[in-house]
Amino acid sequence: MYAVLDIETTGGKYDEEGITEIAIYKHDGKKVIDQFSSLVNPQIPIQPFVQKLTGISTKMLLNAPKFYEVAKRIVEITEDCVLVAHNASFDYRILQTEFRRLGFAFERKSLCTVELSKALLPDLPAYNLGKLVRHLGIPFADQHRAHGDAKATVKLFELLIEKDIKKSILKTHISEAHPNKVAPKFLDIVDGLPTEMGVYYIHNMHNQIIYIGKSNNIKKRILSHLTSNSKKGQTIQNEISSVSYELVSSELITLLKEQNEIKIIRPKLNKAMIRRTFPMGIRVEETEDYPKLILEQVRKEHHYLSVYKNQKAAKAALHYWCENYGICLQKTSLSQAKGACFYYGIEICQGPCVGLESVNEYKEKINALVATLSYPHQNFLIVLDGRKTGESSFVYLKDNCFQGYGYYELNHQIKTSKRIESRLVQMEDNPDTQKLIRSFLARKKYNKLIPL
């Protein structure tokens, strides 16, 4: 649990400042679940330059509550939370100073979005909140007021969580929030899980991710793991300590996130998908005359028309292409025979196997097949549903290469590559992602395609 906050102060000498305004948004890692915002009477003068910067004057604060009157609410809303702020050391120090004046030791874990931004968004020109959120296209109203800055920090933090594909933020939070605890009972684990779509992460008692999965109903899927008699199910039941998750509104992004994060994090119970989800592929091999379709285990050095879960599925695809595109069976790796192929005998193949069809005519058939298996545009966005009202998600392809995914608010344009890349959670392009995207496009389950 996180408490995203911002504090405005009087300015002045170090450790003599007072709070003039505070805003806190309690965040469960997915959404805001509670909030508190208030002006505060610091009972000391506000520095002139601070009044000019924030617009908060001494007169505005005369009837505002004093810090001791809001202290209990601050303790309650931040309890069991990690404090998140832009330049967290400043806000945390100010809070500790105010509580120390009341004789209360205020201690919380903290995360700084400046440091997180530098780690997850390297090479940006500046990391102050105003320039950073403008670069990322995050709405920012009431700058230098606690509620405005805190809202912008919430949006920034959500983007950083999404970009944190190695789960370094998450792992840090769990290790601090639950040190040396025995794994809770299964019901305790399941109780707080959602019944929505997303990717989930099963942690052991050392907070290592031992399994990554996806589901349309996360709670139901975890329950299935905890009642399974399979070898994997038994291992999960023996080692599970907690479950974290990320809700995703799109089936495609869920699939892409799962396979990408498995390859990066390499959980020990995802052995099959660490290498390839679709290990068999079909490619075109150019020869001196007729091109040949080769079915083989996927290799990095080759480009494949399509990839498959197993050899049986790949063979079925080759036979389908023979029947529907006039591909000659002899011109594939499925046949080593010489002379007329089976499909020539039933008058589907036009005879490259017996020299009757010209090389150029046959190449046109191969090109037609390749076209049906290609992306619809060289550069485009696949626009999908967002996680909440007023938001959409996108999958970005550039030069026929998958770049990653992101989220944007509907009132923001993301049609330039700069805007797209600022919101992008980057992922690796590989035969597995190509298969997932092409299959999704074939089913036309997206909201729209935007050529770029």
Report pLDDT digits (tens) over 321-359. Answer: 999 999 999 999 998 888 899 999 888 999 999 889 999
Are residues 266 and 292 both part of a single domain? Answer: no
- Least trusted range by pLDDT, from 3-7, 123-127, 152-156: 123-127
Asked if 156 contacts 113 with a C-beta cutoff of 8 angstroms, the reply is yes
Question: What's the whole-number mean pLDDT along residues 291-305?
Answer: 92
Band (pLDDT 50/70/90 cuts) for residue 254 is: very high
- Least trusted range by pLDDT, from 21-25, 192-196, 293-297, 422-426: 192-196
Are residues 19 and 150 both part of a single domain? Answer: yes
Entry pTM = 0.64
Question: Environment class of residue 328 by beta-carbon count within 10 Å: exposed (0-12), middle (13-18) or buried (19+)?
Answer: buried
Predicted local distance difference test score (pLDDT) of residue 175: 42
Two structure tokens written together for 339? 């002379």
Whole-number Å distance between alpha carbons of 434 and 437: 5
Predicted local distance difference test score (pLDDT) of residue 261: 93
Question: What's the whole-number mean pLDDT along residues 86-97?
Answer: 88
Report pLDDT digits (tens) over 63-86. Answer: 999 999 999 999 999 998 989 999
Band (pLDDT 50/70/90 cuts) for residue 182 is: very low
Q: At residue 183, does pLDDT exceed 50?
A: no
Predicted local distance difference test score (pLDDT) of residue 65: 94
Predicted local distance difference test score (pLDDT) of residue 181: 35
The residue from 107, 132, 163 where one domain ends is: 163
Please give the share of the chain, as a percent, with pLDDT higher than 90.
Answer: 49
Query: Which range in 83-87, 96-100, 187-191 is most confidently predicted, on average pLDDT?
Result: 83-87
Domain with 425, as residue range(s), is 380-451
* Total count of domains within the chain: 4
- φ and ψ at 198, to 5 degrees? 170, -170
Predicted local distance difference test score (pLDDT) of residue 185: 60
CA nearest to 165, candidates 260, 27, 266, 275: 260
Are residues 203 and 147 both part of a single domain? Answer: no
Predicted local distance difference test score (pLDDT) of residue 32: 93
Are residues 24 and 139 both part of a single domain? Answer: yes
Are residues 153 and 205 both part of a single domain? Answer: no
Helices (H) and strands (E) in the chain, counts: 17, 16
Give the H or E element holding residue 364: helix 359-372
* Mean pLDDT taken over the chain: 88
Predicted local distance difference test score (pLDDT) of residue 291: 93
Are residues 182 and 224 both part of a single domain? Answer: yes
CA nearest to 281, candidates 367, 352, 212, 373: 373
Whole-number Å distance between alpha carbons of 81 and 1: 5
- Least trusted range by pLDDT, from 155-169, 259-273, 304-318, 427-441: 155-169
Are residues 46 and 175 both part of a single domain? Answer: no
The residue from 163, 180, 201 where one domain ends is: 163
